[in-house]
Structure 1
Amino acid sequence: MDSKKLRRILEERLKQSHRSFKFDRERDELRIENEQSGKGITVSLPGIVAKWHEKKEKAIDEVIYYAEEALSVMGADHSLAAQEKNVFPVIRSTSFPKEAAEEVPFFIDKHTAETNIYYALDLGKTYRLIDEQLMRKEGWTKEHIREIAQFNLRSLKTDVKTDEVAGNKFYFLNTNDGYDASRILNDKFLKEMFERAEGEMTVSVPHGDVLIVGDIRNETGYDVLAQMTMSFFTSGHVPITALSFLYEEGKLEPIFIMAKNRTVGREDE
């Protein structure tokens, strides 16, 4: 599989009478647009090719699914006021796009040196990131969106699965509701996990559909954590960061982990 072949497959499977395709050869990106609204999505091909070598056709099926869901809601009239219960914060990497395709800035809050907070209107099978244009149309302030999103986030389940490796405990939150990584913003949940920890507590959000809490009780735990987060990071549909965070006194501090059981540095937020 290469970008040229992948491009042909995506164009064939996403083809509809009202859609057009634009290929950016320099960036190796394919844009799919609705000709009636002028709105669309841009897909980076190299990342999908890499996933294809690991997941084969499943990697392409995932892209098709998310593309169809995203394109189906573009141009629709969305109301925040009518759907307050469906507004949630979402964690994304700092390299994630800062504006919509129409060059309208998203509403973004800084989180850590590795992550930013976006805000989304959940539409069922997909979501729309809240941008400044939608905020002006609805007359919503940033403070109001933050308040509503945090309230809704606290209503989400925080059930975790536990695994123990070399004397270290790891807790996995993976509900696949689209907001697993967002639980890193739930202060009550993090404080409860901190009280359970016997060693140093770490929090990882390698991609959007998982959150990992580590109770690191010995040096081997850091090696396990590094390998685990990198594996999740490379396999996730929406990668966030392969770095983990130390959690203490309500604060998250990104850490760098080297092999041979060494934590070699911490990055200030």
Structure 2
Amino acid sequence: MDSIKMKNELQKRLAHPERTFEYDRKNDQLRIEHSETGKGITISLPGIVAKWQEQKEKAIDEIVYYVEEGLQALKGDAELSGKEKKIFPVIRSTSFPLNTNEEVPFIYDDHTAETRIYYALDLGNTYRLIDEQLLKKEQWDEQRIKEIALFNVRSLSTEMKTDRVAGNTFYFLNKNDGYDASRILNDAFLKEMNQKIIGKMAVAVPHQDVLIIADIENDTGYDILAQMTMSFFASGRVPITALSFLYEEGELEPIFILGKNKKR
């Protein structure tokens, strides 16, 4: 499977009378648009091809589902009023766009050197990132959105699975509700976890559907965490960062693991 074959397969699976397709050969991207509104989704083909090598049809099924839900969300006129309980923060990498395809700025906050906070309206199977145009239409201010979103994320389950490897403990949160990584913004939860930690507390959000908290008790723990985070980052539908963070005094600091038992 190469990019051209993948492009053809996706066009066949996503074909619809109201959609147009545009292939950007230079950047190896496929854009799917609603022909009347011009709104659409751009996907990078090399990443999907790489996933196909490992997951075969599952990789194509996932991206088709993602595009279908995304296009459906773009069709409707989203409303915030009366849907306050459906507003959540989402974590993205700092390389994620600051504007919509129509150049409307998203509502966002800086988080760490590797991550940024965006705000989303949950639509069920997908969500819409909140932008300035939607705020203006609803006559809401940014602070209101941010306060509601952070309040809502604190209401989400923080039940975790545990694994003990080479004398280190790893906790995994994977509810697949679209907001697993968002739990990193629940300060009370992080402080509670910190009370359980024997060694050093590290946190990772390799993609949107997982949060990892590590109790690092020896140097080997850093190597395991780095390999684990990279593996999750490579397989995630919405990758965020392959770096981990040390959690100290309520602050998150990126850690760079340079090789066996070496960090800075």
**Which TM-score tier does this pair reach, normalised by the shorter chain?**
over 0.9
* Per-residue CA distance 1:45-90 (angstroms, 9 max, x = gap): 0111111111111111100001001111213111111211000000
Comparing 110-119 with 92-101, greater Cα deviation is found at 92-101
* Per-residue CA distance 1:221-262 (angstroms, 9 max, x = gap): 011101100000000000000000000110000000122211
Partner of 2:201: 201
Deviation at 1:104, TM superposition (A): 0.7
Partner of 2:145: 145
1:71 partner SS: helix
Partner of 1:234: 234
Deviation at 1:13, TM superposition (A): 0.5
Partner of 2:167: 167
1:186 aligns with 2:183: no
In angstroms, what is the RMSD of aligned CA positions?
Answer: 0.7
* Per-residue CA distance 1:169-199 (angstroms, 9 max, x = gap): 0000000000000000000000000000000
* Distance in 2 (alpha carbons) for counterparts of 1:73 and 1:248: 39
Unaligned stretches of 5+ in structure 1?
none
* Distance in 1 (alpha carbons) for counterparts of 2:249 and 2:180: 22
- 1:241-252 to structure 2, matched below 5 A, reads 241-252=241-252
| Matched residues, number | 264
- Residue type at the aligned position of 1:40: G
* Distance in 1 (alpha carbons) for counterparts of 2:105 and 2:22: 22
Partner of 1:19: 19
Partner of 2:262: 262
* Distance in 1 (alpha carbons) for counterparts of 2:72 and 2:91: 23
* Distance in 2 (alpha carbons) for counterparts of 1:123 and 1:131: 15
* Distance in 2 (alpha carbons) for counterparts of 1:185 and 1:67: 27
* Distance in 1 (alpha carbons) for counterparts of 2:97 and 2:23: 18
Comparing 70-79 with 240-249, greater Cα deviation is found at 70-79
* Distance in 2 (alpha carbons) for counterparts of 1:214 and 1:140: 39
2:75 partner SS: coil
Unaligned stretches of 5+ in structure 2?
none
Taking structure 2 as the reference length, the TM-score comes to: 0.99
- Structure 1 runs of 4+ with >2 Å offset: none
Partner of 2:69: 69
* Per-residue CA distance 1:108-140 (angstroms, 9 max, x = gap): 100000000000000000000000100111111
Comparing 176-185 with 36-45, greater Cα deviation is found at 36-45
Taking structure 1 as the reference length, the TM-score comes to: 0.97
- Residue type at the aligned position of 2:111: H
2:82 partner SS: helix
Percent of aligned positions that are identical: 67
* Distance in 2 (alpha carbons) for counterparts of 1:142 and 1:79: 15
